[in-house]
Structure 1
Amino acid sequence: MARTPFHLTIFAVAAIAAGSLAPVSGAFAQDTESRMSGLALSGDEPIQIESDLLKINEETSQATFTGNVKVVQGDTLLQAGEMIVNYTKGGGSVSSGSADIREIELYKKVFIQSGTQTATADAGNFNMADEILVLTGEKVVLTDADNVFIGCKLTVQMKNGQAKLDSCGRRVMIQLDPKSRPKK
């Protein structure tokens, strides 16, 4: 698959990444590391973004979507109370869909769904230059069918698919359903 330039279409990667934690073995641990599967840039499907309000500030190179933010691309859905898109000065504009995005910030309850996978968190950040997605909150919950992963911080390195779920001083909880294993 050819790599798509980092424009607004990269937003779908953050949504897909958060919901694609592959099951790991073990019941409880301080941190959990795994590889993320199914990560791909989707430059061939349109992105629909809805919100109650959009403010574009060309001076600060920032677009702020607030109130019931909903982003849809294919079967991927992202919802949040607020989404801030930070883009490079002179790298295009958000209003034309050609912005060179540096970072996407998500606030006020983040919900991501792609197929059977979901993720919820209080906040999220996608650093485009480093290709790192971080979801944080009192309780970051990832589900894939009947498998559940709970921590407080999920870090995904998009370049290599490596994912880490942190406990933040508590314990990571994982519930695996043996029926969800692929049939051989």
Structure 2
Amino acid sequence: MRIFGAVLAVCIMVLPMAAMAQGAQVAFGGLKHDSSLPVEIAADQLKIDQNTGLATFTGNVLIGQGTLRLGAGSVVVEYTTQGGDVQNMRASGGVTFSNGAEAAEAQSAVYAPGSGQMVLSGEVVLTQGNNALAGERLVINLSDGTGTMEGRVRTIFQTGNN
């Protein structure tokens, strides 16, 4: 999937249909999500520190919440020491994120389940069907399906004539 992202990023930079901007508002209809659903995590290893409220998952980490999927090399989960509620998840190491037909890749991501906000950072590439969007930072509000791509934004919109 990382190779696909690199190829897509190169295509985004060289294709003549690419539009350039400093920031872009994006509709994420397919990324609208119910953050109250249970979160499931699978990984090769787990280290828990109950004193700090941190759980560190490493190796082939896959997180699922409803139809939302996030994969990474490692994820640090911060939880409340009383009650065990998840405050946020910080993913790094080849982050992939998907929900239905929409998918994104980035170097890192922070997800706050309580607010439904996901922030992807570092060489972000988002695909929505045949369309692609790239930038340095993508902030998604999963509660209402909206988002903002920041940094040098590059995009390709398919016109349907292909």
Please give the range of the TM-score, normalised by the shorter of the 2 chains.
0.7 to 0.9
Residue 28 (1) aligns with residue 3 (2): no
Other-structure match for 2:95: 110
Query: Among 87, 90, 111, which residue is 2:82 paired with?
Result: 90
Relative distance call for 1:113 and 1:133 in structure 2 (3 A) is closer
Query: Gaps spanning 5+ residues in structure 1: where?
Result: 1-25, 92-98
Query: Among 69, 78, 101, which residue is 2:61 paired with?
Result: 69
% identical aligned pairs: 32
Other-structure match for 1:96: none
Name the Cα RMSD after superposition: 2.4
Residue 124 (1) aligns with residue 109 (2): yes
Other-structure match for 1:57: 49
Output one character per residue of 1:82-113: Cα deviation in whole Å (capped at 9) or x when no partner. Answer: 0111011202xxxxxxx311111011110112
The Cα of 1:160 is off from its aligned counterpart by 4.2
CA distance in 2, matches of 1:66, 1:49: 11
**Residue identity opposite 2:33 in structure 1:** A
Moved more, 73-82 or 148-157: 73-82
TM-score by length of 2: 0.76
Other-structure match for 1:154: 138
Q: Contact conserved, 2:33 with 2:143, CA < 8 A, in 1?
A: no
**Residue identity opposite 1:177 in structure 2:** Q
**Residue identity opposite 2:95 in structure 1:** V
**Residue identity opposite 1:126 in structure 2:** Y
Query: Among 80, 92, 99, which residue is 2:72 paired with?
Result: 80
Query: Among 127, 135, 158, which residue is 1:177 paired with?
Result: 158
TM-score by length of 1: 0.68
Q: Kindly indicate whether structure 1 or structure 2 has the higher relative contact order, using CA contacts under 8 Å at least 6 residues apart.
A: 2
CA distance in 1, matches of 2:65, 2:144: 23
The Cα of 1:154 is off from its aligned counterpart by 0.4
**Residue identity opposite 1:148 in structure 2:** A
CA distance in 1, matches of 2:132, 2:34: 25
Relative distance call for 1:144 and 1:40 in structure 2 (3 A) is same
Q: Pick the structure with more strand per residue.
A: 2
Relative distance call for 1:101 and 1:74 in structure 2 (3 A) is closer
Query: Gaps spanning 5+ residues in structure 2: where?
Result: 1-17
**Residue identity opposite 2:54 in structure 1:** Q
